[in-house]
Chains A and B, each alone.
Chain A
Amino acid sequence: MKQLLSTMAGTVFTIGVSEGDEVTAGQTVLVLESMKMEIPIEAETAGKVATINARIGDFVNEGDVLLTFE
């Protein structure tokens, strides 16, 4: 199972996908707010979203699992 990890610490600002969605490589799936900037987090590879492990407003650390793919 593939996981998408947070590239940096920040607050989850928006989540652009739902569980079960098919995403393409490079698609922005989530936006973090960190250091007064909005940082888009992209899917590294294409796949189907199995679980979303973060909620809007959560503070995540670098390396935390944001999504898992089937």
Chain B
Amino acid sequence: MKKVLIANRGEIARRIIETCKKLHIETVAIYAEADADLPYVKEADTAFLIGPSQVQQSYLKADDILALAKREGVDAIHPGYGLLSENASFARKVEESGMIFIGPNPETIDKMGDKIGSRQTMIAAGVPVVPGTEEGVHTLEAAVEEAMRIGYPIMLKASSGGGGIGMVRCEDEQTLSQNFMSVKQRAKAYFGDDVVFLEKYIADGRHIEVQIFGDTHGNIVHLFERNCSVQRRNQKVIEESPSPDFPQEARERLLKAAVDAAKAVNYRNAGTVEFIVDENNQFYFLEMNTRLQVEHPVTEEVTGFDLVEWQLEVAKGNSLPITNQHEIQSTGHAMEFRIYAEDPKTFFPSPGTIKTLQWGSMDHVRIDSGYEEGNAVTPFYDPMIAKVIIKSDSRQQVIAHAQNFFASVTIEGVKTNVPLFREFLGAQAFQDGSYTTAVLPQWLEQQKEEK
């Protein structure tokens, strides 16, 4: 593998370029008009304008990207996360064109992209799933009947959903009736498929996921868990590993279930098995993400491995760099904070030009940033500017370093959630590590009441 095209943008394109450089692999970047000035465009060996700013006219134009890849004679395509990364038909076309898709088999992407189908696969593999409907529910009447059987509150979800979009918690029949059509409509608009299903709502749940990795020789390992329970609008804001307040016995069961899940689909390359964990440390499969995750640096920091390097190795057809599970150790503690260009109170996006970007204290800090001072955050893409990853010996020390970091960072020109981190890091519920996915919304409510 000598030349790789990166079908993505921003920080993840930059991250992939960095590892390719280390391994002396030539990189080809693509960019939309709005991204012409971003660092990754300059850092790639070559970069090509792929279209206007909107993703439908640029980063999602699979055929144009494939044509460019062929013209440039690349050996492989790395899809990053989001965009075309979980598009099975794109993966298939890459392989049919004689190039390597750096990710799982197209069949695996298809199977896991369908939430109802992936639930059925996991049930067959003996992995616990959230109690719910085994098939899609097509009418409100059927949904009401199923919800009665499962018991309220329930989650109404789009089978093709993801990224926190296309899911609503319903307390009772009334809220289910109110939301049924709109979730179907959203599912159709965002994912092109309006099939929905129901799951029991797990109260006081934590979102804990496991990084898994497979190769084409049948080896599958895990690289421990990440707790991603600090969320706003069902989207992650802080992730950490190891998960705090999680007994070793439960951790071992969870890691084993994740490996079983990966084995059930003969998994290849990097993947993440997401679980919801209840107050008694019982866990249930939620979904499998068939790509490198945004929060992969947390795992890199505690294990010491370069996951993009692992992806490239496996894609070449080599064995995993480490096939013996016991040789994969987790040491210390790591956290990732996602810096978003958004209003820290309303969470509405705040596009604009980053006039000042001074990171300040870099003690124990790694920054994966898609932008530099002077770049514009445009309204066409996700509002994430950068990821701040902090690693230290203990969770307490990580929090202390994070507090130092956020006290010294200055970002001007766009609103960001930096002020939120400054306050939230001191919150008791976060500090003691026993938090659930409700922690951030509950804390914000509390702040409002105190003012």
Secondary structure dominating the interface of A: strand
Given known A8-B349, A59-B54, contact A35–B189 (CB-CB < 8 A): no
B163 within 8 A of A: yes
B380 within 8 A of A: yes
Chain B interfacial positions (CB closer than 8 Å to A): 54, 163, 165, 189, 233, 235, 347-349, 351, 378-383
A1 within 8 A of B: no
A18 within 8 A of B: no
Closest Cβ of chain A: how far from B49's Cβ, in Å?
19
Residues 34-70 of A, flagged 1 when their CB comes within 8 A of B and 0 if not, give 1111010000000000000000000100100000000
Closest Cβ of chain B: how far from A8's Cβ, in Å?
6
Given known A34-B349, A37-B347, A59-B54, contact A9–B379 (CB-CB < 8 A): yes
A35 touches B382 (CB 8 A): yes
The answer for the CA separation of A56 and B87 in the assembled complex, in Å, is 25
The answer for the CA separation of A10 and B53 in the assembled complex, in Å, is 12
Contacts of A36 in B (CB 8 A): 163, 165, 235, 382-383
Name the residue of chain A whose CB is nearest to the CB of B185. A14
Name the residue of chain A whose CB is nearest to the CB of B340. A35
B163 touches A35 (CB 8 A): no
Given known A35-B383, A37-B233, contact A9–B189 (CB-CB < 8 A): no
A35 touches B347 (CB 8 A): no
Contacts of A8 in B (CB 8 A): 349, 351, 379
The answer for the CA separation of A35 and B233 in the assembled complex, in Å, is 13
Residues 1-37 of A, flagged 1 when their CB comes within 8 A of B and 0 if not, give 0000000111001000000000000000000001111
Scoring A35, A39, A62 by chain B CB atoms within 10 A of each residue's CB, the highest score goes to A35
Cross-chain pairs A/B with CB under 8 angstroms, 6 sampled: A9-B351, A9-B379, A13-B189, A34-B349, A35-B380, A35-B381
B233 touches A34 (CB 8 A): no
Contacts of B381 in A (CB 8 A): 35
Contacts of B383 in A (CB 8 A): 35-37
